[in-house]
Amino acid sequence: MIRLERVTKRFGHHTVLDNLDFSVDAGKHVTLIGPSGSGKTTILRLLMTLLKPDEGTVTVDGDQLYPAPEKQVREIRKKIGMVFQQFNLFPNMTVLRNITEAPVTVLGMSKDEAEERARELLEMVGLTEHVDKHPAQLSGGQQQRVAIARALAMRPQVLLLDEVTSALDPELVAGVLDVLRDIARSTDITMLCVTHEMNFARDISDRVLMFDSGRIIEAGAPEKIFSEPEHDRTREFLSAVL
């Protein structure tokens, strides 16, 4: 579903991704861990077409994202949903409208169908009773759950999660992670997550990739990475965050 081949990204003289190769099979959940600044978010931004690589190719569902004509990029973009650290909801719209806006305007879904789907998603994220509120009337955890519902409303094949609990008060983290665990269990969406929540990573991941300085230094099943890491760098990182 996702394939990066020999991807290099530089900012000025700083090589942020260094000749990187990896792929994620359809329906799998892969988590990127590693120290701050090691390039994890840059990968999500490449997949979201917010950045372009300097070298290498990125493909999604068999279609090349770089280099590609603008129309192809737009089509691929529709297959990918993303949830950010900051929830980025539309402040002037109700919860319901936040979720229905893109399906109606981008996918051409009817308003009724979009609302029906939005209500199903709100039930899934436990926010049925908040449908007519505005984002400012919700807690950060509730807003993030709306953001998750909004991403799913576009029926993406791929869900990118960028440190989605980092901006939340500690007591609100578990509710958001529970929703994501549920999505990982009950859907066939391919998930690529950047997270500092190691227990969550252990629970949902098929594979964990450990990054350092723009390279993958170790990859494997979560049991392996968390229980028997091979690299000193991975051990050091895990002992600092666990």
Which residues make up the interface to ligand ADP (CB under 6 A)? 11, 16, 34, 36-42, 194
Identify the helix (H) or strand (E) that includes residue 222.
Answer: helix 222-227
d(CA 214, CA 7): 10
Residue nearer to ligand ADP on the CB measure, 14 or 71: 14
- The DSSP call for residue 155 is -
d(CA 5, CA 26): 17
Q: Which residue has the tokens 């980025």?
A: 88
What's the closest the beta carbon of residue 106 comes to ligand ADP, in angstroms?
26
Residue nearer to ligand ADP on the CB measure, 146 or 194: 194
What's the closest the beta carbon of residue 23 comes to ligand ADP, in angstroms?
19
Cross-strand pairs, 33: 210
The three-state secondary structure class of 81 is strand
Residue nearer to ligand ADP on the CB measure, 36 or 186: 36
Burial class (CB in 10 A: 0-12, 13-18, 19+), 95: buried
Residue nearer to ligand ADP on the CB measure, 38 or 100: 38
What's the closest the beta carbon of residue 2 comes to ligand ADP, in angstroms?
16
Residue nearer to ligand ADP on the CB measure, 35 or 156: 35
Cross-strand pairs, 159: 81, 191
Contact 20, 215 (CB under 8 A): yes
d(CA 112, CA 221): 43
Residue nearer to ligand ADP on the CB measure, 52 or 185: 52
What's the closest the beta carbon of residue 211 comes to ligand ADP, in angstroms?
6
- Distances in Å between the Cα of 25 and the Cα atoms of 60, 88, 98, 163, 193 are 10, 29, 30, 21, 14
Hey, what are 53's tokens?
Answer: 């690589």
Contact 1, 199 (CB under 8 A): no
Residue nearer to ligand ADP on the CB measure, 18 or 203: 18
What's the closest the beta carbon of residue 40 comes to ligand ADP, in angstroms?
4
What's the closest the beta carbon of residue 37 comes to ligand ADP, in angstroms?
4
What's the closest the beta carbon of residue 231 comes to ligand ADP, in angstroms?
16
